[in-house]
């Protein structure tokens, strides 16, 4: 069972979930939240919220939190690769596919980004189409654009 707590942020209400001291999920306002969560603010959730607020204020460029995303082996490799995209930079789905050793897996990378349970902290918003266009994001393309603009301002 996860603990979850909700925080008002510059991009709307965000739910952050943890299990055994590791962040497992971030939920945007428009997302369905599993019922098996307990609403309880733990120390790690407070710290995650503090870092998220710092990031959204443009003061924090790198998160330092224990993460425990749940997914397939391929998804975990993709999410690990996303953590290597520097603040203020973007990568294409194909570049991420190449980084995980399968240059033809661009669509699978897209699916892994779509299923990223810890957006923002695992920066799937930094992945864009090969043509430079913004593509899907759980919080909506407007939030993806805002996050990328925030990072460009450095």
User: Active-site positions?
Assistant: 124
Half-sphere exposure of 122 (CA within 13 A, CB side): 28
3-state SS of 13-58? EEEEEEECCEEEEEECCCCCCCCCEEECCCHHHHHHHHHHHHHHCC
Asked if residue 18 lies in contact with residue 45, where contact means CB atoms within 8 angstroms, the answer is yes
What are 119's two structure tokens? 């957006």
User: Residue 78: in which H helix or E strand, if any?
Assistant: helix 73-82
Q: Please answer whether residues 17 and 27 qualify as being in contact, where contact means their C-beta atoms are separated by less than 8 angstroms.
A: yes
């Amino acid at each position: 069972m996860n603990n979850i707590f909700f925080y008002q942020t510059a991009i709307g209400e965000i739910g952050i979930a943890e299990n055994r001291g590791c962040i497992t999920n971030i939920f945007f306002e428009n997302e369905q939240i599993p019922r098996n969560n307990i609403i309880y603010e733990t120390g790690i959730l407070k710290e995650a919220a503090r870092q998220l607020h710092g990031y959204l204020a443009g003061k924090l460029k790198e998160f330092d939190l224990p993460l425990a995303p749940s997914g397939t082996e391929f998804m975990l490799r993709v999410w690990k690769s996303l953590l290597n995209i520097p603040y203020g930079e973007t990568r294409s789905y194909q570049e991420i596919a190449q980084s995980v050793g399968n240059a033809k897996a661009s669509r699978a990378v897209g699916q892994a980004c779509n299923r990223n349970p810890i957006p923002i902290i695992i920066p799937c918003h930094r992945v864009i189409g090969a043509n430079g266009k913004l593509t899907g994001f759980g919080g909506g393309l407007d939030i993806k654009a805002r996050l990328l603009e925030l990072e460009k301002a450095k």
